[in-house]
Amino acid sequence: MPSHHIVLHLASDATGQTLDSLVRASVAQFSHADVTYHRWNLLRTRSQLRRALEGIAQDPGPVLSSVVDPRLRHELTVGCGHIGVRLINVLDPVTNILQDELGEAAIARPGGQYVMDDAYFRRIDAMHFVLAHDDGQEMGGLSHADVVLVGVSRASKTPTSFYLANCGVKAANVPLIPNLPLPDELEHLSRPVVGLTIDPDVLIGIRRHRLDVMADRRMDLVMRNNPYVDPEQVEEEVRWARRVCARHGWPLVDVSQRSIEETSAAVMEVIAQWEERHRS
């Protein structure tokens, strides 16, 4: 089936992350979608909105909007009508339900989810924590972590830690290295520990790419014979790491076919289960 090309305009009065997430999730359901995106973010004034409407008119297509200011919404609605493109205010269904259930009118504050509140500062603290406790650094601080990730090299420990930090979760990560004892702090930790495991073939591909990026091309043969990417050794390394986690009762999350977002969601579920057990 041939790809079908469409143009989508994303209009936001904030960073546009809400629309981006919604559209990515929706477009992913279509195997043959060829989408051109135009993003119009931080639309806070009428002049900014008019410039966006001029851009929409130059390359017409449906408009998805998360603009909340009533005056700008009205102008956007009128403008899209004149251009002849469809407009969907994506926040309306949820906002309407909440207004009905809460008996309170929405305040229509642009970027209201980005206030510098306690949650914001928790995310900042979590980011600092990850920086200080990445790849086995500052082992003495593990007791202050919300979660500790363990796994072999290139098993997505660091990117997952940073994504968790953006969710306000203090995540440390510690590499599992064959023939080296586990750090004492990790052995006796009273915090949730999650093992990230990965299919050996996928891991070899990731490691080969890493070596290719780092290596001098004249060293290519040497690097490709490196034990770091030797299939038998990598398979044994992954098996060994899984045995370590099983011996300590650490749950495993397989990252082979998971995005960082999906891996982080699985880790947060483990954290919630650990906290529930320790509350009872």
The answer to whether 217 is annotated as binding is no
The span from the CA of 13 to the CA of 67, in Å, is: 5
The answer to whether 77 is annotated as binding is no
213-228 in b/e form (b: 16+ CB < 10 A) is eeeeeeeeeebeeeeb
The answer to whether 224 is annotated as binding is no
DSSP 188: T
Backbone φ and ψ for 125, nearest 5 degrees, come out as -60, -40
The answer to whether 156 is annotated as binding is yes
The answer to whether 84 is annotated as binding is no
Residues contacting residue 5 through CB under 8 Å, at least 6 positions apart: 34, 35, 36
The answer to whether 218 is annotated as binding is no
Whether the CB-CB separation of 173 and 161 falls below 8 Å is answered with yes
The answer to whether 151 is annotated as binding is yes
Q: Classify residue 167 by burial, with Cβ atoms within 10 Å: 0-12, 13-18, 19+.
A: middle
The answer to whether 190 is annotated as binding is no
Residues flagged as binding site for ADP: 151-158
Residues flagged as binding site: 151-158
